Structure 1
Amino acid sequence: MFDPRFERSVNVMCVHDENGALGIGIGHVREGVGFRGLLEEVGIDPGDAPDREVLHGGPVEPGRGFVLHSTDWSGQDTITVDPLCAMSASLDVLRAIAEGRGPKDWVIALGYAGWGSGQLENEMRQHGWYAASGHREVLFNTPVDGRWAATWRAEGIDPSFLANTTGSA
């Protein structure tokens, strides 16, 4: 990927249809922001919520939050991202996590990556992206700085053999 904002990025594709695509980055930490501090910023008592890392979800709307989580919790605006996880973007999921009644597994990100109609498909043809299968282990149980390499390994690819140039036959 020639755009430095997406260097070694790992994105969970949450929506992809004729209108475009929306993905949440899960491979980079948003510096200076912790989960408990974020809860306080939006007026939610952090209670006993863990102070997890907040991820850099993408360059679009960097102040908007998204929670990717296990499907054992669902709210009014939850979207299922089959078969990997669910996505919620309301304060309800944050309150549930803070109160200890939220999803078992979750990650939180600010911002998203968005593509207009046909844009992502064009970038795929230009070798800008690799479409990996979703791997719950990578999303929920791999440290953030290891998700890029872990995604390749989960696909059966040794990332040390990747090249930054392409060719054609």
Structure 2
Amino acid sequence: MVSNQVKNGQVLLAEPFMLDPNFKRAAVLLCEHGEEGSVGFIMNKPLDMQIDALVESFPEFESRVLYGGPVQRDTIHYLHTVGDLLEGSRPVGNGIYWGGDFEKLKFLATSQLIEPKDIRFFVGYSGWSEGQLDDEMTLGSWVVADMHANYLFNMDSGQVWEQAMYNKGDAYTVIANMPEFVSWN
């Protein structure tokens, strides 16, 4: 059974004391949630590399690469705003698209029809098997938030978790201001 609590295009915010180092204070954009499982990408764990250094055949292109999650860390994925130009893109929500024809993407980059500000690349992804995310939601591991494209394309990735918590209001504002380590209080 698929949970009605979460849906494609929402953000999963790790509860503040999650111990799993892959998801500590992670903000995950959920791109697929269905009967067979769920897929998303961590938006706030940047890697110190550019896509053209990671993929030899990619044209010179100064775009951020992020750690998408612990699953298949030998794969590259991308989220972007140019779904109308990139065949095979899947809409995620709020003007954000997932994937598309990689050869066409390289052409768009070379032709400057897509700019680094319009796309984010990810190494690996975050995945949940059938029912796993629903179980984690029941345990309180995640807080669901609305997605704003600014989280992915215009913000310092280190501030995404805090900002998304803050934007939820009420008690979440207090959580957003909590230090990462309790000893910092």
> Following TM superposition, by how much is the alpha carbon of 1:125 offset from its aligned partner in structure 2, in angstroms?
0.6
Aligned partner (choices 53, 72, 84) of residue 37 of structure 1: 53
Q: Which runs of 4+ in 1 moved over 3 A?
A: 71-74, 161-164
Q: Which residue of 2 aligns with 1:167?
A: none
- Asked if the contact 1:84/1:134 (under 8 Å) is kept, the reply is no
Structure 1 gap ranges (5+): 165-169
Residues 37-116 of structure 1 mapped to structure 2, 5 A cutoff = 37-39=53-55, 41=56, 43-46=57-60, 49=61, 51-71=62-82, 73-88=84-99, 90-91=101-102, 92-102=104-114, 105-116=118-129
Q: Percent identity?
A: 25
How far did 1:72 drift?
5.0
Match for residue 165 of structure 2 among 141, 152, 161:
152
In structure 2, the gaps of 5 or more residues are 1-17
1:83-117 deviation digits (Å, cap 9, x = unpaired): 35111154232442233112662211111000011
Aligned length: 158
TM-score, normalising length: structure 2: 0.76
Residues 51 and 58, structure 2, Cα contact 8 Å, conserved in 1: no
Aligned CA distance change for structure 1 residues 65 and 114 (closer, same or farther; 3 Å):
same
Give the alignment's Cα RMSD to 1 decimal: 2.3
Give TM-score scaled by structure 1 length: 0.82
Q: Residue 33 of structure 2 aligns with which residue? A: 16
CA contact (8 A) 2:29 2:43 kept: yes
Q: Which moved more, 1:139-148 or 1:75-84?
A: 75-84
